[in-house]
Amino acid sequence: MTQLALPLRLADHAIFDTFLAAGNEPLVDYLRSLTNAGAGQGAWIWGAPATGKSHLLQATCERFGDRAAYVPLESLAAAGPELLEGLESRQLVCIDDLDSVAGDEAWERALFILCNEISEAGHHLVVSASHAPREGGIALADLRSRLQRLATFHIWELDDSARVAALQLRARHRGLELPDDTASYLMARSRRDMRSLYELLDKLDLEALRAQRRLTIPFVKDVLQSG
């Protein structure tokens, strides 16, 4: 992937195999298909925080390898729209958290130029935001019109049973076994958004490695009480 102005790395867990599609199968299938020539111009993915938008953008970039650029605007916006220069050469550009620059004239003009260049090159653009294109706060009409041409997907939040399955999927990827009863115990004692649950799983993974313990309820209870 491109380095842009700052060193960026994709999260090692952010691949399609660790994303529980439950209810979002059409979106995942579409993003997977982008690696096929002529499979689509790109996508606008919108939904609530911590629903997996960043995960999917990074997973799509992972499939493209060095032909992709991942641009997390929430952390890079302060560096200025010059970051976008030259990205049209990449076959895939993923713009995360577009909301971070919506309404900013300089950013919107730079994004409009990039959109046109990507389209002319026959490459792909994938964007994430909190709202649908018409409600995304974009002031530049030409940019808004261009982005509305992208395939639009609402990413749905997981219900509690799917959250448990997602935690177990992530745990297996890390070489851990997360029993049903332990997963239910975690769900009852932590915030239920996936970002918080994954952060808790990361902590448990580290503590389990240090203690050479399995993720049993007594062990998890000790970790939670000590934390």
pLDDT at 5: 42
DSSP bridge partners of 68: 92
Could you tell me if residue 114 is inside a domain?
yes
The average pLDDT across 123-140 equals 94
In a shared domain, residues 79 and 170 = no
Minimum mean pLDDT range among 21-30, 31-40, 177-186, 194-203: 31-40
pLDDT at 195: 87
Q: What is the CATH number of the domain that holds 179?
A: 1.10.8
What are 209's two structure tokens?
Answer: 């490695």
In a shared domain, residues 133 and 218 = no
In a shared domain, residues 176 and 72 = no
Residue 2 in this model has a pLDDT that exceeds 60:
no
In a shared domain, residues 40 and 115 = yes
Of residues 64 and 36, more confidently modeled = 64
Exposed / middle / buried, residue 94 (Cβ in 10 Å: 0-12, 13-18, 19+): buried
Q: What is the CATH number of the domain that holds 89?
A: 3.40.50.300
Q: What is the mean pLDDT of the chain?
A: 90
What's the pLDDT tens digit per position in 46-70?
999 999 999 999 999 999 999 999 9
Q: Provide the percentage of residues in the chain whose pLDDT is more than 70.
A: 93
Residue 161 in this model has a pLDDT that exceeds 50:
yes
Residue ending a domain, among 122, 154, 186, is 154
pLDDT at 191: 86
In a shared domain, residues 182 and 135 = no
Which range marks the domain in which residue 23 is found?
Answer: 16-154
In a shared domain, residues 47 and 146 = yes
Tell me the C-alpha distance between 62 and 12, whole Å: 9
- The pLDDT-based confidence of 39 (bands split at 50, 70, 90) is low
pTM of the model: 0.88
